[in-house]
Structure 1
């Protein structure tokens, strides 16, 4: 049986610029999908936990820059896990990875200190886009000290790909046109649009455009 606390630790020779990522989710398929995306990357050190308590224990060991946290764990439900994590580790950068598509939940998570809210219904590549941004900012293991302070502006939480999709969306482009311009599938564009609706707390594409123009 998999034990998160016995997961392999980075070797002493691991690149100090690699981003330490802790995936906290009790669903094996979610962890497997993220592991498949990140496992071959030299700039990512991946660790996994199934429960909040396992995650807190791993975080205390250090070498973790970003926490991907599910909202529904065996020992934490809703925003309890997020608030508990940040109470014990106020400087942690916690990204919520949730199956809850309620825009109000996304806004509440951001208000409680999450740096981003990524729906599980979206493309897992959205997660990688966010980590790519983190990796680009990472200079050393405690890079979090060099990042700008958190802001209430949702645009500051967008991944590079989400920024591109948002720009074309505000320009009036249809999903098919955006997909062609960015060389991605139309389904991936739809997933990005869904994530944008959650981040900005609106219920439709029209509301998003109206709010940001």
Structure 2
């Protein structure tokens, strides 16, 4: 479990331990608060790690760079990307597509419910089916995907543009985005212009309005 928020790690650990105790399953949970710590843990316990829950907002990486670095060093690692950003469902969808394209096994928003979290872990063979089958059913109130120009534009974005879009939606300026994704401010300016053009808008305000 890689997340820089101790309460998040504590919550996931408690969630898993609570659910597996009744089934008799034993699950060891390793925790890291940064990508560097996660890489060091993985190196020491590579053979024993079945799954990596990786937050995309860590002190030493931003966006999907963590997926790229972890997957490059350990191509066989099974990674589930977790995201707690306040971006719209369309932006989350774009992040999910990019994460999968970079080698992640799944994408999970932190707003997901208990059964979704455990289903992802079960899919990797960490939990038994009885652990998940006893949980309440998923809500059927998930809003449908928007069938719009904005959705098509989002799906057409390259993986390089998605982290920039995410930070734009968080209200970051070009300098802040450049620092977060480790690009020059000029490159970020070009990315921003491309994103605005793709969505057919002239300003960040219009972009945010179209995706909210």
Q: TM-score, normalised by structure 2?
A: 0.55
State the 1:85 CA deviation. Answer: 0.5
- Aligned pair 1:36/2:25, yes or no? no
Partner of 2:156: none
Higher strand share: 1
Deviations 1:112-135 (A, max 9, x none): 111000111121431111112222
Shift in Å, 1:99? 1.6
Residue of structure 1 equivalent to 2:2:
24
The answer to whether the 8 Å contact 1:39/1:46 transfers is no
Shift of 1:94: 0.5
Distance apart, 1:73 and its partner CA: 0.1
Alpha-carbon RMSD across the aligned residues, in angstroms, is: 2.7
Tell me how many residue pairs correspond in the alignment.
Answer: 132
C-alpha spacing 1:84/1:73, structure 2 compared with 1 (3 Å): same
The equivalent residue for 1:172 is none
Length-normalised TM-score, structure 1: 0.55
- Consecutive unaligned residues of structure 1, counting only runs of 5 or more, are 1-22, 139-159, 162-181, 208-213
CA deviations on 1:1-32 (whole Å, 9 max, x unpaired) are: xxxxxxxxxxxxxxxxxxxxxx0001122212
Give per-residue Cα distances to partners, 1:19-69, cap 9 Å, x unaligned.
xxxx00011222121111112433321111100000000001121110000
Return the index of the structure with the highest Cα Rg.
2
Q: 1:154 corresponds to which residue?
A: none
1:57 matched to 2:10? The reply is no
Structure 2 stretches lacking a partner, 5+ long: 152-212
In 2, Cα distance between equivalents of 1:133 and 1:66: 10
Task: State whether residues 34 and 124 of structure 1, in contact with CA within 8 Å, keep that contact through their aligned partners in structure 2.
Answer: no
2:125 partner SS: helix
Partner of 1:72: 57
Stretches of 4+ aligned residues off by more than 4 angstroms: none
Q: 1:121 & 1:68 partners in 2: Cα distance?
A: 14
* 1:105 equivalent in structure 2: 95
